[in-house]
Chain A
């Protein structure tokens, strides 16, 4: 029977001609009829009805199949829809949809296409900015989405306004393979003062039974630099203020993040006493901003960068030699055959994580949870690993162990998680592994997590003072 159904799937797949067409078919409402027809062909029964939004049964799924384990090889039958599916096959359309919103790094067609292929759910993704996303949800737009992929420090706004629903941990199957960063207060990088990251992951960090948002990907930020131009390795955030690089520096236009790392440098170098660099008092912030204004007036900064592509261009073109960049920026610059490295700052990295939150009244809960599971199953995590991001579960390890897309000498797991030739930060060029070293090396060197300060208004006001100085 399964062969006939599979043939039916191919027929349906061919009907669309392309994935885009298939999406249109699904969205146009013809999908229900098409699904009924194919389901009838295979002798299936649809369950659920209008409004209940329950998926129909899938012949590739057997609820009694052995429990799922991370694997690159698709199995048959599968236990869950989000599990890998053999190449060339597509799941039957379910009639369910996931409408998600997030940044371009996580909401991508290639991810959503794979999600649709595996699960049979249709999907739509809106790419936007963090601020625009939260603003849209707060302004009443939440009902247009099922999931939200955002930075944890901003997700707090959605949680506090009751726009999200808690996600039971037992609904997120791959979570049994979670890294201790998100489960243990003893983990590398845990901040006992802010409670990050646990305080933003869990409804109750003690019991850890429900998520506020499920961690999706994370990283710690530092400095991208043109090693061919600096002719030395950058090892401190202070290099962004170093007169040697006056007029060769770009910094991010962000009233929270940029004063944060500047504070980390000033604190570590003993110039300013600061208790919490992620959440400064007015007096502390004043001193940081005054220092930055002084540097700005002396011509230290060539540009204040605004978005991802701009930072890539600034570094790739040599307009600037160093910038407080994001990891994928440096990887994109390298792809242009430019010698660019990511610094291992002695003051520590600034850490952050993005997660998926589920809208409180979503009519597509089943599909939304499938999406959460899909992102943690391993394949998704292995894709973003190549951009420099980490996956909160170890499920991507099996994929990365089998691929060598970054280097012929190392598997992608060895390169991105173990640091390649050694777990240490790499000196010079060419690289023999991840420039900033292994996972533990990086996460043992955290300055602070990106939290939400007590008085963001004051941060904004003082940042404007800096910009207009």
Chain B
């Protein structure tokens, strides 16, 4: 059976015994001998079928539903372009919300990159003890063992009028009254989002840094590069695979974000994913599907753009 797992070796499969030839697996090996394309196809078949069934069906359904008609009693298969016309008409709030969504994702991405590099670098170079490295990395990851919702609403007692931050600020006499912008604002939403997503960036960048050969760092130092120069001209380029992997996570998940805006941002600045839910609230499933289709297209475009500038096989 071992031969079956390596398509490339099939072309030169060893001679089979009489008994092996007689068995089912033996007959399969015989049939596939010299046909690596067919073998690869067969190996890909279960996964492909599974993805087609689960992801493919859902995607196709969403696209089809986006051309149907919403009704109080459910979707009706009456084809129309009205959902897209309503969504994409000039003056529709969709445009502003799309721009805002992209802004949030951009701020999210820039923020987590700026936070993740110092954190990863510290873990990689500054902390020498492997014990402390592991302990700090674990500390960093542990909060992410809890639910996404729990991690989000944790910011309520942190940033509220009577929250930890305001208590400290007032305790230090920095302010006399609670700072209200700390909660239910775009600022608080971004802080929560950076916290939620930073693990997706720190992990890949840190592991990319670990793969940098120590000799390269030494060479940079020997040739007189300052630590900053080494960081920007050596470390950053060599950690691009990690940066790109993290960015893919952040962009794709960030575009689908809706809960943080609702819970921490005060629900006053919805993003595209939030629009979908608000349509569903009033049984506008076709309209929700149309937004979903547009959101998927935007996601694909962004991911495509990122991959155009970076070969994902380097990750």
A and B held together in a complex: yes
Contacts from A to B (Cβ < 8 Å): 131, 134-135, 138-139, 156-157, 160-161, 247, 253-256, 296, 301-306, 310, 313, 317-319, 452, 456-457, 459-461, 463-465, 467-469
Residue of chain A at shortest CB distance from B89: A461
- CB-based contact B282/A319 at 8 Å: no
B275 within 8 A of A: yes
Residue of chain B at shortest CB distance from A129: B281
15 contacts between A and B (CB under 8 A): A135-B283, A157-B72, A160-B73, A255-B278, A255-B282, A303-B268, A304-B267, A319-B183, A457-B70, A460-B282, A463-B278, A464-B278, A467-B93, A468-B96, A468-B269
B287 within 8 A of A: yes
- CB-based contact A467/B160 at 8 Å: no
- CB-based contact A319/B93 at 8 Å: no
- CB-based contact A306/B278 at 8 Å: no
Residues in chain B near residue A464, CB distance under 8 A:
93-94, 97, 270, 275, 278
Residue of chain A at shortest CB distance from B265: A303
Question: Which of A138, A254, A452, A468 is in CB contact (< 8 Å) with B270?
Answer: A468
Measured between alpha carbons, how far is A317 from B182 in the docked complex, in Å?
Answer: 14
Residue of chain B at shortest CB distance from A137: B74
B166-194 CB mask vs A (1 if < 8 Å, else 0) is: 00000000000000100110000000000
- CB-based contact B270/A467 at 8 Å: yes
Within 8 A of A (CB), among B86-110: 86, 92-94, 96-97, 100
B161 within 8 A of A: yes
**B86, B96, B180, B267 — which one has the most chain A CB atoms within 10 A of its CB?**
B267
Residue of chain B at shortest CB distance from A301: B268
- CB-based contact B97/A318 at 8 Å: no
Within 8 A of A (CB), among B260-298: 262-263, 266-270, 275, 278-284, 287
Residues in chain B near residue A468, CB distance under 8 A:
93, 96-97, 100, 269-270
Residues in chain A near residue B235, CB distance under 8 A:
none
**B72, B86, B275, B279 — which one has the most chain A CB atoms within 10 A of its CB?**
B72
- CB-based contact A131/B283 at 8 Å: yes
Residues in chain A near residue B160, CB distance under 8 A:
317, 319
Contacts from B to A (Cβ < 8 Å): 70, 72-74, 86, 92-94, 96-97, 100, 156, 160-162, 180, 183-184, 262-263, 266-270, 275, 278-284, 287
- CB-based contact B278/A460 at 8 Å: yes
Residues in chain B near residue A301, CB distance under 8 A:
266, 268
- 3 A-B pairs with least C-beta separation: A304-B267, A303-B266, A456-B282
- CB-based contact A247/B180 at 8 Å: yes
A43 to chain B, nearest CB (A): 51
A320 to chain B, nearest CB (A): 9
B34 to chain A, nearest CB (A): 49
Taking A138-B73, A313-B156, A467-B93 as known contacts, 17 extra A-B pairs with beta carbons closer than 8 A to each other, sorted by chain A number, are A131-B280, A156-B72, A247-B180, A253-B278, A254-B281, A255-B278, A296-B268, A318-B161, A319-B183, A456-B282, A456-B284, A457-B70, A457-B287, A459-B282, A461-B92, A461-B93, A468-B269
B82 to chain A, nearest CB (A): 9
Measured between alpha carbons, how far is A157 from B70 in the docked complex, in Å?
Answer: 12
Q: A256-B282, A313-B156, A319-B161 given as contacts; is B86 within 8 A of A456 (CB)?
A: no
- CB-based contact A302/B180 at 8 Å: yes
Q: A160-B72, A304-B267 given as contacts; is B86 within 8 A of A461 (CB)?
A: yes
Residues in chain B near residue A465, CB distance under 8 A:
93
Chain A at the B interface: mostly helix, strand, loop or mixed?
A: helix
Question: Which of B93, B161, B266 is in CB contact (< 8 Å) with A304?
Answer: B266
**A134, A456, A457 — which one has the most chain B CB atoms within 10 A of its CB?**
A457
Residue of chain A at shortest CB distance from B280: A131
Measured between alpha carbons, how far is A233 from B76 in the docked complex, in Å?
Answer: 48
- CB-based contact A460/B281 at 8 Å: yes
Q: A317-B161, A460-B284 given as contacts; is B73 within 8 A of A157 (CB)?
A: yes
Residues in chain B near residue A460, CB distance under 8 A:
278-279, 281-282, 284, 287
Measured between alpha carbons, how far is A468 from B263 in the docked complex, in Å?
Answer: 16
Residues in chain B near residue A161, CB distance under 8 A:
73-74
Q: A457-B70, A463-B278 given as contacts; is B263 within 8 A of A306 (CB)?
A: yes
- CB-based contact B72/A457 at 8 Å: no
- CB-based contact A302/B282 at 8 Å: no
Residues in chain B near residue A138, CB distance under 8 A:
73-74
B67 to chain A, nearest CB (A): 15
Measured between alpha carbons, how far is A14 from B283 in the docked complex, in Å?
Answer: 47
Measured between alpha carbons, how far is A161 from B71 in the docked complex, in Å?
Answer: 11
Residues in chain B near residue A310, CB distance under 8 A:
263
Measured between alpha carbons, how far is A131 from B277 in the docked complex, in Å?
Answer: 10
Residues in chain A near residue B262, CB distance under 8 A:
253, 306
- CB-based contact A456/B72 at 8 Å: yes
- CB-based contact A452/B86 at 8 Å: no
**A131, A452, A456, A461 — which one has the most chain B CB atoms within 10 A of its CB?**
A461
A144 to chain B, nearest CB (A): 17
Residue of chain B at shortest CB distance from A131: B281
